[in-house]
Amino acid sequence: MTKITLDDISLKDFTLGNLPRLQELRRLSFARKPEICIERARYVTRYLRDKDDPTDSPEVRQARKVNYFLQRKRPVFHDHNLLAGSTTSKALGAPLFPEFFALTLWPELDTVSTRAKNPQKLTPDEARELNLEIFPYWMDKNVLELTRKRISNTESAQSLKLFESLVFFIAAKAGCISHAVPAYEAMLELGLSGLIDMASVREAAAFLLASDEGDRQADFYRAVQISLQGIIQYAEHLADEAVTLAGVADDPEVRQEFLDMAKVCQQVPAGPATTFREAVNAIWICQVGIHAENINMAMSPGRLDQILYPYYKRDMEAGRLDIGRAIELIGCLWLKIADNVTMVPEASEEMFGGAGTVPAITLGGVDADGEDAVNDLTYIMLRVTELLCIRDPNVNARYDYEKNSSDYCRRVSEVILNTKAVPAFFNDHANITALTGQGESIEHARDYAVIGCVELASSGRDYPASSSIMLNLAAPLEMALFCGKRPITGEEQIGPSTPDPATLNSFEEFWEVFKTQLDWLIEKAIELNEHMGAVHQQMMPSPLLSAFFEGPLDKGKDLVQGGSLYNSSGATHIAFADVVDSLNAIEQTVFIDKKYRFAELLQMVKADFAGAEGEKMRLYLKNRAPKYGTEHPLARKNARNIVGHLFNLYQSHTNYRGGLYRPAYWTMTNHAGLGKITGALPHGRKSGELFASGITPVSGAAPELTACLNAVAELGGECVPGCWALNIKYSPETDVEKMTERFAQTIEAYFRSGGQQVQFNIMTYEMLLDAKKHPEKYPELMVRVSGYSAYFKDLNELMKDELITRTMYDLANGKSVAYLPENGGKQ
Amino acid sequence: MMLDLITQQAQKKLWEQFNNCLTSEVAEEFLQTLLNLMMIVFVVNYDYRRNIKNFEGRYQFCSKDGQVTIGAVFHNGRMEVIKKMIERPNITITFRDGKTLLNFIISPRQDILGSMLRHDVVTDGNLNYLYKFGFMAKQLQLMMPQLPQ
């Protein structure tokens, strides 16, 4: 039965012009400057210093800490948003989580407000409090330092050193787990009070078991109640504050708005949601609560068009809601979700500059029965995304080319063309296959949502710690080329001492050497992740988040202890395309064509292809060796071999929560930072050139769009359970209708070939060069980086260059357009 | 009175040296200058001294060529500089040369991540101690008096 009752799915009659509230809130969101909020850091520190009882279980200690903060969290109303609640006390706030990397801000306390790139405001009083009271408490107590204590003087210490050198892999658990999609259905139906009652009953039952396991479960259920009670208290404070503000408001309309918000907060999230508005606000307040416990990184609200649809439908049918009001409420939610940023120290700008917090929202696709799940709310959310065109939330559109209508595909395409960047497209067939391949039931897999950049999870059932490892594939390649050493780390023997490649007789032998180094490095990364996981189990359980998952309340077990139904760990990879192309170059030119001896190639790579001979070789490698992103069989084979090998290797490891490791291919901005410090590579890449992003072919390497999409698509499905980010840049066309048609057709063909995900930038080289030169002309220009959106002006110089030089295709003829920087990008 | 005068003169000289390190390409003396200046400002400036109240920290600085080996120990609200290897450092910072260390800690053209990625500076130990040290060094930079040209 169709769930589409809209006369016009593009909802073009609804514009910012006739939605003045959204227009004003959007203006404010661009006008606001980020401010660091120390509220959470202050209260969790005070709690731990003065109130904590170390004899409590880790779950109860965490719950009491979170409750203490939520009780004291200031209820603030910064503007005329219809939803109550805010992530921080600031209008656009960067909360501090001293359990992780907040202390990296220390050197900048006096300068962060005025630094040249992406300043974040911090008052002198707050800086003093951080310096003298908060940070000193955490000197030896954050996740990284507790991990160091745990593994110093053991063999695992090497894995920590590799991580801290930053050029091999990043162990992201030092900064967060987060990266999850909660299930809000039970909260909306029962209210938090209902969930608390459920936990209370189970606590009593567990306690009566009179066993260690029963006591542990009882503690967990206790912790759930304590932490959820914190959210309820916060909502009560919001209601009280709204009543107070209504009392002092002169404007009767404003007064009524505050009274309405007070009424909503008196009902939800403590009680069940009875209206669409209550449901929307309940989800938002719970998101705020989740960020009291877990850092604001990729905490993704999930399939909101599905979760909120029953409330929308009921209100529409009852005449309590109209489309305009629904758009306004969803717009308010989008802008609330964007009310926070991450604290980024100046030192990390190069790696992560310009990134948002990447809370992902997933639209469309199929339902648990495999039927079309697109509904009116899907189109309302698409319209809001199109109208607001803001960095967060990270909106993603699922598409099942057999079940979803072509109208839906065209509409999503139209939104991408209009926003120039969002949403990203996800292929239901390939992604559901990827998740069932991980042992997820078909119904659960069909209910997948996107986390953060691109990662997949069955909504509220899958705790995937999807950014556990970010591995630089160029590191094991260099180690294979240089007998276990890397030019950047000098003479230090890092990996196993493998044979000099010049002594090898076949590409197969080199492939074995490469795998030796790769496997060794992955083992180290996994080893460290396991230790950090154990630290999280002691220090950072998540009883509050656990309440929004299927599994923990049945098992009596926290998410970090393996309470979820599915418990994987994610590992993503940087420099995939560059490494494939390097292998291609070695195989073709050294072993097949025998154009160069391996020793010659190594010599030139070491010398960064210096001199006339070096440049001659470099050009040959760059232009004549097979390239990933084309139909060349050798390139396709090497790409498949890497993907297959990584899949098998990761899947042979079980993590500390009892789940498997899942490989993925998205890079955030790491491909720029790591590319900058990596030496020359055998495919003709000079030292310092940026790596390709995600699973995208190297810029300029894939001249034909169809071949490029096919080459990527054939890697998809079972072997990439963590998904990927494929970046495609199209030049805009004047005939938008024709372009939309071709755009949608190309998506369908790519998905039918197996492609899992694709995201777009609809812009020219010329425009991006101009935006780099004149940022003031493009204050709102949004671009897709590698899985997330960013404002171009906020990106570091390297990332700007990467975006500019990405291959641009002309969709009309399917050919790449040459990049001619000497002409200012003009053809 | 005489002590005040000596202290003032020593301070003035150190500020000048510190300023030279920051503004010139020659930064070989940067570490020694920074530590000496820190010690003296801890003595004369109450607000700055609050940074090390109840702070226990042991820093080992080494140059890659082995020419520089300096320890900085914070204990009982005091700072001590030791020109040799110290025991049980909280963090060891090994740097290529004075300029790379300056660039790492304090330079207006600071490039902390780049320094680490290029392995110009290698650390071993608890980085939070380094962050605190970086703050104290930057505070000095911000406190620098206007010096006569």
Query: Does the beta-carbon distance from A107 to B134 stay under 8 Å?
Result: yes
Q: Exposed e or buried b for every residue in A29-50, given b needs 16+ CB within 10 A? A: beebebbbbbbbbbbbbbbbee
Q: Does domain B2-143 have CATH number 3.30.1050.10?
A: yes
Q: In one letter, which amino acid is A295?
A: I
Nearest in space to A767 (alpha carbons), one of A800, A726, A738: A800
- Check: CB of residue A180 under 8 Å from CB of residue A460: no
Nearest residue of B to residue A99, measured between CA atoms: B128
Rounded Cα–Cα distance for residues A207 and A202 (Å): 8
DSSP state string for B5-72: HHHHHHHHHHHHHHHHHHHSS--TTHHHHHHHHHHHHHHH-HHHHGGGTT--EEEEEEETTSS-EEEE
In the predicted model, residues of chain A with pLDDT beneath 50 are none
Which residue in B113, B119, B139 is closest to A351 by CB distance? B113
Residue in the block written with tokens 């710690």: A465
Instruction: Pull the structure tokens for residue A29.
Output: 């969101």
Its sign, for the CA torsion A141, A144, A146, A148, is: negative
Query: Does the beta-carbon distance from B51 to A103 stay under 8 Å?
Result: no
CA A506 to chain B, closest CA, distance in angstroms equals 33
Rounded Cα–Cα distance for residues A667 and A662 (Å): 15
Chain B residues within an 8 Å CB radius of A346: 110, 112
Instruction: Pull the structure tokens for residue B4.
Output: 């005040």
CA A147 to chain B, closest CA, distance in angstroms equals 11
Which value, to the nearest 10 degrees, does the dihedral of the CA atoms of residues A317, A319, A324, A330 take?
Answer: -60
Instruction: Pull the structure tokens for residue A214.
Output: 């029963």
Most B CBs within 10 Å: which of A139, A149, A676, as the mutation test of the B interface?
A139
Chain B residues within an 8 Å CB radius of A142: 128
What CA–CA distances, in Å, run from A583 to A267, A591, A648?
Answer: 61, 11, 19
Rounded Cα–Cα distance for residues A504 and A599 (Å): 10
Most A CBs within 10 Å: which of B129, B131, B140, B142, as the mutation test of the A interface?
B131
pLDDT at residue B3, rounded to an integer: 58
Rounded Cα–Cα distance for residues A383 and A395 (Å): 11
pLDDT in tens, A108-129: 999 999 988 889 999 999 999 9
What residues does each domain of chain B span? 2-143
Rounded Cα–Cα distance for residues A276 and A311 (Å): 5
Summary mean pLDDT of chain A: 96
Q: Identify the residue with better confidence: A602 or B24.
A: A602
Query: Does the beta-carbon distance from B117 to A676 stay under 8 Å?
Result: yes
Nearest residue of B to residue A166, measured between CA atoms: B117
pLDDT at residue A118, rounded to an integer: 86
The distance in angstroms from the start CA to the end CA of chain B is 28
ipTM score above 0.90: yes
Chain B residues within an 8 Å CB radius of A674: 117
Residue in the block written with tokens 């970046």: A727
Nearest in space to A648 (alpha carbons), one of A467, A518, A459: A518
Most B CBs within 10 Å: which of A104, A106, A134, A492, as the mutation test of the B interface?
A106
pLDDT at residue A734, rounded to an integer: 92
pLDDT at residue A350, rounded to an integer: 63
CA A676 to chain B, closest CA, distance in angstroms equals 9
Query: Does the beta-carbon distance from B138 to A107 stay under 8 Å?
Result: yes
Residues 6+ apart with CB under 8 A from A523: none
- Check: CB of residue A70 under 8 Å from CB of residue A230: yes
Three-class DSSP category at A523: helix
Q: List, as own/partner pairs, every contact residues A239-244 make where C-beta atoms lie below 8 angstroms and the sequence separation is at least 24, other chains included.
A: A239/A84, A239/A263, A239/A265, A239/A266, A240/A75, A241/A75, A241/A76, A241/A77, A242/A75, A242/A77, A242/A84
Which residue in A110, A138, A167 is closest to B142 by CB distance? A110
Nearest in space to A747 (alpha carbons), one of A781, A705, A792: A705
- Maximum C-alpha span of chain B: 50
The residues with which A567 forms a beta bridge, in sequence order, are none
pLDDT at residue B23, rounded to an integer: 73
Rounded Cα–Cα distance for residues A502 and A78 (Å): 65
Give the model's confidence band at B27: pLDDT under 50 very low, under 70 low, under 90 confident, else very high.
low
Three-class DSSP category at A399: strand
Which residue in A106, A349, A350 is closest to B134 by CB distance? A106
Its sign, for the CA torsion A345, A351, A354, A357, is: negative
Chain B residues within an 8 Å CB radius of A135: 128, 131-132
Task: Return phi, psi of residue A604, to 5°.
Answer: -70, -35
Number of residues that this document lists for chain A: 827
CA A677 to chain B, closest CA, distance in angstroms equals 6
Chain A residues within an 8 Å CB radius of B122: 165
Rounded Cα–Cα distance for residues A737 and A181 (Å): 35
Nearest in space to A693 (alpha carbons), one of A738, A757, A638: A757
Query: Does the beta-carbon distance from A677 to B118 stay under 8 Å?
Result: yes
Query: Does the beta-carbon distance from A132 to B113 stay under 8 Å?
Result: no
Residues 6+ apart with CB under 8 A from A182: A286, A290, A299, A301, A302, A460, A545, A548, A549
Burial of A515 (0-12, 13-18, 19+ CB in 10 A): middle
Q: What number is the average pLDDT over the span B134-140?
A: 93
Chain A residues within an 8 Å CB radius of B135: 106-110, 131
| Contact residues of B toward A, CB < 8 A | 50-51, 54-55, 105, 110, 112-114, 116-119, 122-129, 131-132, 134-135, 137-139, 142
- Check: CB of residue A63 under 8 Å from CB of residue A199: no
| Contact residues of A toward B, CB < 8 A | 103-111, 131-132, 135-136, 138-140, 142, 144-145, 148, 161, 164-167, 346-351, 488-490, 673-674, 676-677
Query: Does the beta-carbon distance from A488 to B127 stay under 8 Å?
Result: no
